Amino acid sequence: MKLRLGHLYPELMNIYADRGNVECLSRRAQWRGLDVEVVPLGAGAAESLHDLDIILIGGGQDRQQGAASRDLAGAMGARLKDAVAEGTPLLAVCGGYQLMGHRYVAADGAVLEGLGIFDLETKHPGPRSKRCIGDIAVRWEGATIVGFENHGGRTYLGAGTEPLGRVLSGHGNNSEDGAEGARTGTAFGTYLHGSLLPKNPHFADRLLEMALRRREPGFRLDPLDDREEWAAHSAALRKIGLRKG
Residue 36, Cβ neighbours under 10 Å: how many?
16
Three-class DSSP labels, 45-103: CHHHHCCCCEEEECCCCHHHHHHHHHHHCCHHHHHHHHHHHCCCCEEEECHHHHHCCCE
Residue of 7, 124, 193, 233 with catalytic role: 193
CB-based contact 39:48 (threshold 8 Å): yes
Catalytic residue list contains 171? no
Residue of 24, 94, 151, 233 with catalytic role: 94
What are the Cα distances from residue 120, in Å, to 100, 105, 188?
8, 12, 13
Catalytic residue list contains 24? no
Residue 136 parent element (H or E): strand 132-140
Residues involved in catalysis: 94, 193
